[in-house]
Amino acid sequence: MSARALKIRKIGNSTGLILPKELLGELHIKEGDTVFVTKSAAGIQLTPYDPAFEVAMTAFERTRRKYRNAFKELAK
């Protein structure tokens, strides 16, 4: 994605950033969705995915593989 200038605007008693329709489509988000802003070595990232949830799912995947047979028994 190429660089794009966006203006910070006053919205009611708050300050906000208006995202162009094309960017909403690229991020797969719509009005009312929650986005997460994270700092990384690459800079600031805006994503619709919760980084904490991703960490939890990665931990679950490790556990799921380790206790595969126990989960099968519990599912019966």
pLDDT at res. 16: 92
| Residue 63 near residue 48, CB atoms below 8 Å | no
Range of the domain at 61: 8-75
Q: Given a cut of 70, is residue 1 above it in pLDDT? A: no
The answer for residues whose C-beta is within 8 angstroms of residue 7's C-beta and 6 or more apart is: 17, 18
48-57 pLDDT, tens digit per residue, is 888 788 788 8
Q: Is residue 71 domain-resident?
A: yes
Q: Where are the beta strands (DSSP E) in the chain?
A: 8-11, 14-17, 36-40, 43-47
Q: Is residue 66 domain-resident?
A: yes
Q: Is residue 2 domain-resident?
A: no
15-74 pLDDT, tens digit per residue, is 998 889 998 998 889 999 999 888 889 888 888 888 788 788 888 888 888 888 888 888
- Helix 51-66 to helix 68-75 angle, to the nearest 10 degrees? 90
The count of domains in the chain is 1
Q: Is residue 19 domain-resident?
A: yes
